[in-house]
């Protein structure tokens, strides 16, 4: 009896210690203010989930704010995190410019800022500690290289329509640039039309409908800056009586499960990977920053590319 009781008490003590481990020896729980862009895509939903679950796992107190795709909401959220004196601020900037003032306010309050997923364009890189996320330029290049290879035996013109991401956002700017950099080597590639679909399915569909209305017969290729817009565009293509991935070659970015499903149905040719699973990396950096340890200024996510031919084999391994 006695020894059973002792074991139970020891067990309970060990459990208490294990749960409170990160707070042991008078350490205070870290508070992280995170301003998310919104919920515009399957990618974003997976990213939010990754951040929330990683914070829980790491024992970090997460203050989460959804900006609903509006920069002013992000600025407000960051100001509120400063007022609440959080330990670290992290955010995924909806657009590249216009954040300098609020970043200076965070710096003056001595609150370190971590950029995740998207970058800001600033000459003063002391305004943030690190930027972790994908290389969007390289994603655009991968999309371009895939197309060049696919069309290598095609002698005629290749007419492309492009669905851009949110105007002024880092992925929209860089994915366009990287893609153009590669295809410009051969004059047969022509971008017929290029317009924003704001990274959403609904907009992707609407803009593709407009492209098809004016140029249905000419379009050979659709390059979409994310899978959601490509999926919306696939609906528009089918409704116009055309066969996606056959009459119009479709290239997109993210490699979310929805894209794999479209590839397995033979409706999408290829998706370039952009991983949203940044949560664990972010929590690791938050802890290092609070502990005063150095973190690299740029942490690049490693990513692949998935053509439809490998979709069924890869699908069971996909985590988002
Ligand atoms: O910033 C990453 C991009 O934002 C993803 O490619 C897109 O799907 C998301 O909304």
Averaged pLDDT, 60-80: 98
pLDDT digits (tens, 9 = 90+) for 237-256: 999 999 999 999 999 999 99
Averaged pLDDT, 68-92: 98
pLDDT at 25 over 90: no
SS (H, E, C) 175-237: HHHHHHHHHCCCCCEEEEEEEECCCCHHHHHHHHHHHHHHHCCCCCEEEECCHHHHHHHHHHH
Q: What average pLDDT is seen over the chain? A: 93
**What is the pLDDT at residue 27?**
74
Helix 170-183 with 136-150: angle, nearest 10 deg? 30
Q: How far apart are CA 260 and CA 255, in angstroms?
A: 7
Nearest residue (by CA) to ligand 1, atom 3, is 171
309 or 11, higher pLDDT: 309
Of ligand 1's listed atoms, the one at least distance from the Cα of 118 is: 1
pLDDT at 63 over 60: yes
- CA 257 from centroid of its chain's CA atoms: 14
**How far does residue 180's CA lie from ligand 1's centre (Å)?**
19
Determine the Cα angle at 121 with ends 116 and 125, to 5°: 75
**How far does residue 199's CA lie from ligand 1's centre (Å)?**
7
Handedness of CA 163, 168, 171, 173 (dihedral sign): positive
Of ligand 1's listed atoms, the one at least distance from the Cα of 92 is: 1
**How far does residue 228's CA lie from ligand 1's centre (Å)?**
9
- The strand pairing partners of 224, in sequence order, are 163
Instruction: Mark out the alpha helices in 40-169 (DSSP H runs).
Output: 42-58, 71-83, 100-108, 136-150
| Ligand 1 lining (C-beta closer than 6 Å) | 40-41, 43-44, 117-118, 171, 199, 226, 228, 253-254, 274
pLDDT at 275 over 90: yes
**How far does residue 219's CA lie from ligand 1's centre (Å)?**
25
pLDDT tier, 26 (very low <50, low <70, confident <90, very high otherwise): low
pLDDT at 118 over 70: yes
pLDDT at 19 over 50: no
pLDDT digits (tens, 9 = 90+) for 288-316: 999 999 999 999 999 999 999 999 999 99
Percentage of the chain beyond pLDDT 90 is 91
Q: How far apart are CA 236 and CA 219, in angstroms?
A: 13
Q: How far apart are CA 105 and CA 82, in angstroms?
A: 8
For the full predicted model, state whether its pTM sits above 0.75: yes
pLDDT digits (tens, 9 = 90+) for 195-211: 999 999 999 999 999 99
**What is the pLDDT at residue 45?**
98
Q: In which residue are the tokens 């959080």 written?
A: 86
Nearest to 284 by CA among 24, 77, 90, 18: 90
pLDDT at 28 over 90: no
Of ligand 1's listed atoms, the one at least distance from the Cα of 43 is: 8
pLDDT tier, 24 (very low <50, low <70, confident <90, very high otherwise): low
Which residue out of 117, 172, 252 has the highest number of ligand 1 atoms within 8 Å of its CB and is therefore the one to mutate?
A: 117
Of ligand 1's listed atoms, the one at least distance from the Cα of 256 is: 8
Catalogue all structural domains in the chain, each as residue range(s) with its CATH number.
30-133+276-301 (3.40.50.2300), 136-274 (3.40.50.2300)
Helix 42-58 with 279-290: angle, nearest 10 deg? 40
- At 300, is the secondary structure helix, strand, or coil? strand
| Residue 6 vs residues 10, 11, 15, 18, 315: alpha-carbon distances, Å | 6, 8, 14, 18, 50
| Residue 251 vs residues 140, 162, 175, 194, 254: alpha-carbon distances, Å | 10, 10, 12, 14, 11
> Starting from the edge strand earliest in sequence, which strands make up the sheet with 249-254, in order?
189-196, 158-164, 221-224, 249-254, 270-273, 305-307
């Amino acid at each position: 009896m006695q020894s059973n009781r002792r074991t139970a008490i020891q067990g309970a003590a060990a459990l208490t210690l294990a749960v409170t481990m990160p707070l042991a020896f008078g350490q205070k729980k870290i508070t992280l203010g995170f301003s998310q862009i919104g919920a515009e895509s399957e990618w974003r939903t997976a990213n939010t989930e990754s951040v929330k679950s990683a914070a829980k796992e790491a024992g970090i107190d997460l203050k989460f704010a959804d900006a609903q795709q509006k920069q002013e909401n992000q600025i407000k959220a960051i100001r509120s995190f400063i007022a609440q004196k959080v330990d670290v601020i992290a955010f995924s900037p909806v657009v590249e410019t216009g954040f300098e003032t609020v970043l200076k306010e965070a710096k003056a309050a001595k609150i370190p800022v971590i950029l995740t997923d998207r970058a800001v364009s600033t000459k003063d890189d002391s305004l943030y500690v690190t930027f972790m996320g994908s290389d969007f330029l390289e994603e655009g290049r991968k999309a371009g290289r895939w197309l060049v290879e696919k069309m290598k035996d095609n002698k005629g013109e290749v007419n492309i329509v492009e669905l851009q991401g949110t105007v002024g956002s880092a992925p929209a700017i860089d994915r366009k640039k990287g893609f153009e950099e590669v295809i410009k080597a051969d004059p047969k590639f022509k971008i017929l039309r290029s317009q924003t679909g704001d990274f959403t399915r609904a907009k992707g569909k609407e803009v593709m409908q407009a492209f098809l209305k004016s140029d249905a017969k000419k379009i050979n290729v659709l390059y979409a800056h994310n899978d959601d817009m490509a999926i919306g565009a696939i609906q528009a293509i089918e409704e116009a009586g055309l066969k996606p991935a056959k009459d119009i070659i479709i290239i997109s970015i993210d490699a979310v499960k929805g894209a794999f499903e479209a590839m397995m149905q033979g409706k999408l040719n290829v998706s370039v990977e952009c991983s949203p699973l940044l949560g664990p990396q972010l929590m690791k950096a938050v802890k290092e920053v609070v502990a005063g340890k150095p973190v690299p200024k740029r942490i690049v996510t490693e990513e692949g590319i998935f053509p439809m031919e490998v979709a069924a084999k890869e699908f069971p391994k996909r985590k988002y």
